[in-house]
Amino acid sequence: MPNEFRSAFLILEKIFIPATDTFSLKETLECGQVFRYQLVDGVYHLSAGEHHATFTEKEGGWDMEATNIKFFQKYFDFDTNYDIIQSKVQDKGLVSSAVSFARGIHILRQDLVETVFSFVISQNNHIPRIKAIIERICTALGEDKGGYHAFPTVEALASKDTDWYKEMGAGYRAEYLSGIAKRFRDEGVPSFDTLSTEEARKLLMSYKGIGRKVADCVLLFGLKRTDVFPTDTWILKIFGEEYPDVPAEKLAKILVERWGEYSGYVQQWLFYEKREKKV
Count of residues that bind DNA according to CB under 7 A: 40
Task: Tell me: does residue 93 bind DNA (CB under 7 A).
Answer: no
Would you count residue 124 as binding DNA (CB under 7 A)? Answer: yes
Question: Strand locations in the chain, DSSP E?
Answer: 13-18, 37-40, 43-48, 51-58, 61-66
CB neighbour burial string for 252-269, b if at least 16 within 10 angstroms, e if fewer: beebbeebeebbbbbbbb
With 0-12 CB in 10 A as exposed, 13-18 as middle and 19+ as buried, what is 182? middle
User: Which run of H or of E encompasses 258?
Assistant: helix 248-259
Residue 85 interacts with DNA (CB under 7 A): yes or no: no
The pairs formed by 273-278 with CB atoms below 8 angstroms and a separation of 24 or more are 273/97, 273/98, 273/101, 273/102, 274/234, 274/235, 274/237, 274/238, 275/32, 275/234, 276/101, 277/101
Region near DNA per CB under 7 A, out of 39-47, 76-84, 95-103, 214-222: 214-222
* Residue 278 engages DNA in binding (rule: CB under 7 A): no
Report the chain's terminal Cα–Cα distance, integer Å.
Answer: 50
Choice between 2 and 128, CB closer to DNA? 128
In a 13 Å sphere around the CA of 131, the CA atoms on its Cβ side amount to 15
- Residue 245 interacts with DNA (CB under 7 A): yes or no: yes
Q: Which stretch binds DNA (CB under 7 A): 2-10, 79-87, 145-153, 203-211?
A: 203-211
Stretch that binds DNA, among 18-26, 50-58, 150-158, 263-271 (CB under 7 A): 263-271
100 is a site residue for DNA (CB under 7 A): no
Residue 60 or 247 having the CB closest to DNA: 247
Which of 50/232 has CB closer to DNA?
232
Using CB under 7 A as the binding rule, the residues of this chain from 19 to 48 that contact DNA are 31-33
According to the binding rule CB under 7 A, does residue 212 interact with DNA? yes
Binding site for DNA (CB under 7 A): 31-33, 122-129, 166, 169, 171-172, 205, 207-215, 217, 230-235, 245, 247-248, 250, 267-268, 271, 275
